[in-house]
Every structure is written in C-alpha cells, then in structure tokens.
Amino acid sequence: MLIKNVKIENADREADVRIKNGTICEIGENLKALEGEEIIEGQGGLMLPPFVDCHIHLDTCLSLDATGANTSGTLFEGIRVWSEYRKNLDKDEVQERALRTLHLYQEKGVQYVRSHVDISNDLTAFEALLELKEKVADEIELQLVAFPQDGVLTSEKVQKNLETAVSMGADVVGGIPHFELTREHGERSIQLIIELAQKYDRLVDIHCDEIDDDYSRFLEVLAAKAYETGMGKKVSASHTTAMHSYNNAYCSKLFRVLKMSGVNIIANPLVNVNLQGRFDTYPKRRGITRIKELLENGINVSMGHDDMYDPFYPLGNGDMTEVLAMGLHLCHMMGYRELNDSYRIITYNGANTLNLEPERYGIAVGRPANFNIFKGGSFFEVLRSRQGIRHSVRNGRVINSKE
C-alpha cells in the first residue's frame, strides 16, 4: 500500500508512506507506485499515530438509561448510583456496552485504550472485559486496570477481588486513596497497591486526589513510592484535580518529586469539569490538574475520556480531540504552537503512559503501520475544523474510512 501526499505530524512538506506486511517500510517524497499497489491519496492531509485514551471505565459507559441520573453531578453521587447498578451486573450486557463504546473509539481513530474496571463487588465486569480484550485485539489494544472503586481498605472482599483480578491478567493495579476512610488508610492503600504490582510485575494507575480538597495530597506519596521502588514510569496518577487548589509553593516542591519519580499524569478534562467545583458557589473551581505547568516541568501528561453516557458524565462519543480541546481551554493552552503541538498529549504521551515499547508506536520506518489521516494539513486545522479523520489504518489494514 502506498499513501500519497501526507503531512506527517505537522511537517511543512508532503511525503509518501509505503506499507508492506503491516509495517511502514519506506517514507520519502514522490515514491513511485509498484505494480498493482493499492494507493490512498492523502491530499495534503495530516498523518498522526493513532490516538491513545489512557483512562476510561468501559464497565460503566453507556449505562445511563439503566442506572438513572446523577442529579447533584458530584463524583460521590456518581459512585453511589453506580454501586446500586453494579449489584446485578450481567456479563453479556457489560460486554455489549463495552463493545459499542469501542466502536465509537474506532470511528474516532483511537487504537489504544486503558480501561479501569470496578472489582469491588464482584468480578463479572472484569471477566467480561478480559474476554473482550482478546476479541478486539486486531483493532484496539486494550489495557485493563483492576479498579477498587470502594477503596481497598474498606473490606477484605475488595482486597481479595483486587488480587484475584490481577492474577487473572489485569495489566494495571488501580486504587483510590482520596476515597479511603482516612488519610492514613489512603497512604496504606498506596503501599498495598505498589506491593501487589511488584509481586505480579504490573503497572500502577491510581485515581489520585480527584477532589477539590487542597489537603488531598496522595500524589506526593505515590510519586515517592514510584521513586523509592524504582517503578518510575510504570506508575500513573489519574485526575489529580486537587492540584488545582494547591498553593504554588507546595506545587513547586511537588513538581520536583514528580520529576524525580517519572510518574505519568492522566488528566480527564471532560469528566472532571463536570464532577468538580460542585461544592463551590462562586467563584467555581475548574476540575483540572495543572497540565500546562506539568508539561513545562518535563512531566509526562496524557488524557482520558473517563466516561460516556453514565452516572459520571452524560455526553461523549469517543473523540479524543474533544477531550483535548476541553483541557486546552481550561488550562489556557490556546497559543498557536500549544494548539498545534498538543496532538502529542493524546498520542505519544499516551503511548508513554501505557508503557508501549517505543518501537511499536509512531510513524517511522520499521514500525507497525498504525495511523490516522485527516483532512486538515496541521493539527491546528484539525482542532479548528473538527472535521475528523478520513482514514484509520491498523497493521497496514484500513479499518475505518470516511470515503
């Protein structure tokens, strides 16, 4: 296959890309088509590596009709509404909703997804998604996080389910320290999660400080553990919205620890701007971590959609450019360069967070032929026009085409 005239990652000049056996084998200008070679006309459009969604809950997505609404809009009501629904989860029903969600992602050029799966009550959803992960592997690479929504130290059952899910094949161990009973329980939960991840050689991704409480400071505890154990970039902190409310002096100290540790930060702008600020009158805080400053300090920041049509968030269609755009607005990252370069947050930074091997991701000779082609010639144009993708290619196969 030969892709003609694409601008690879905002390049000024157009290039052609040749694919053989699912791998990018040549990149250059004016490549001549071989006898019988399939040709895709890029028409000067942007080519990017696939989008990466680092944080979604596939077990809750598209459940809103059945769960009923979250009327206060707080995270805590969301958790309450979900906990009622999950008492009677059905494996097929979970799989069906998750598959529909993954189809939305595929439409939008997302090929890598990390999903949290609540294991607090039972392993129904986890089993459903473990099966689905295999079924969809040709089109979407799925990482599963064993996620103890209720907190690990609230009951023996949660701890047992957490370890069982990890032993069954969870890629990542999750947690929620700001929801544990006390600060001390939160710290212990992090210790327990890190030990579990080390025992099974897994990654860690914690729902961390997802609250408008400037005293919620589990991120420093997690980063210190990542540093001391050497787990480093295998550890991620999701949400970290309390950072919005920290004072600047503390943030300055915190950023040093973050940098030393190598932890990844995953922001979820769509969902957190909905869930946070709900206890404020005016002025109302924005539910977002300090993306701009984190990036300026060399810390890896990626993003997640977090939810779609469920008790935590009523909208969403799998479009990572929408997630990104919300984050860019909230964090005042609206300069031309910031907008144009921001594709990295939902591509390379996401791949780093997922700990994908560098040779498996990105547009270069020898790498798998996984990419999207857009109408606009730059990412700025893609964000401005929101025209979406024209073609998605995975392992050299067109899996989605708008023409």
Question: Which residues are known to be catalytic?
Answer: 210
C-beta closer to Fe ion: residue 58 or 369 = 58
Q: What are phi and psi of 227, to 5 degrees?
A: -70, -50
Query: What is the amino acid identity at position 282?
Result: Y
Q: How far is the CB of 226 from Fe ion (least distance, A)?
A: 19
Binding residue (CB under 6 A) for ligand 17E from 306, 319, 322, 381: 306
Contact criterion met (CB below 8 Å) for 354 and 54: yes
Give the torsion through C-alpha atoms of 106, 371, 15, 375, to 10 deg.
20
Q: Does 218 bind ligand 17E (CB under 6 A)?
A: no
Q: Which stretch binds ligand 17E (CB under 6 A): 30-38, 292-300, 304-312, 338-346?
A: 304-312
- The CB-nearest residue to ligand 17E is 312
C-beta closer to Fe ion: residue 207 or 290 = 207
Q: How far apart are CA 132 and CA 396, in angstroms?
A: 23
Question: How many alpha carbons lie under 13 Å from residue 132 in its C-beta half-sphere?
Answer: 28
The one of Fe ion, ligand 17E, none whose footprint includes residue 210, by CB under 5 to 8 A per kind, is ligand 17E
Per-residue contact flags (x/-) with ligand 17E for residues 147 to 176, judged by CB under 6 A: --x--------------------------x
Q: How far apart are CA 32 and CA 44, in angstroms?
A: 17
Q: How far apart are CA 280 and CA 371, in angstroms?
A: 42
Binding residue (CB under 6 A) for ligand 17E from 14, 307, 322, 381: 307
The one of Fe ion, ligand 17E, none whose footprint includes residue 271, by CB under 5 to 8 A per kind, is ligand 17E
Q: How far is the CB of 345 from Fe ion (least distance, A)?
A: 17
Selection from 5, 7, 27, 8 nearest residue 17 by Cα: 27
Binding residue (CB under 6 A) for ligand 17E from 207, 217, 234, 391: 207
Per-residue contact flags (x/-) with ligand 17E for residues 219 to 238, judged by CB under 6 A: --------------------
C-beta closer to ligand 17E: residue 179 or 343 = 179
Q: How far apart are CA 162 and CA 193, in angstroms?
A: 9
Sheet strand arrangement including 15-20 = 23-28, 15-20, 2-8, 39-48, 371-374, 389-394, 397-401
Q: How far apart are CA 142 and CA 264, in angstroms?
A: 18
Q: Does 75 bind ligand 17E (CB under 6 A)?
A: yes
Question: Cβ neighbours of residue 45 under 8 Å, at least 6 residues apart?
Answer: 6, 7, 373, 374, 375, 376, 377, 390
Q: Does 305 bind ligand 17E (CB under 6 A)?
A: no
Q: How far is the CB of 100 from ligand 17E (least distance, A)?
A: 18
- The CB-nearest residue to Fe ion is 306
Q: Which stretch binds Fe ion (CB under 5 A): 287-295, 302-310, 326-334, 363-371?
A: 302-310
Q: How far is the CB of 271 from Fe ion (least distance, A)?
A: 7
For residue 362, give the 3-state DSSP assignment.
coil
Selection from 403, 371, 373 nearest residue 388 by Cα: 373
The one of ligand 17E, Fe ion, none whose footprint includes residue 176, by CB under 5 to 8 A per kind, is ligand 17E
Sheet strand arrangement including 110-118 = 51-56, 110-118, 141-147, 172-175, 203-208, 235-239, 264-267, 301-303
Instruction: Please give the residue ranges that form the binding site for ligand 17E (CB under 6 A).
Output: 57, 75, 79, 149, 176, 207, 210, 271, 306-307, 312
Instruction: Please give the residue ranges that form the binding site for Fe ion (CB under 5 A).
Output: 306
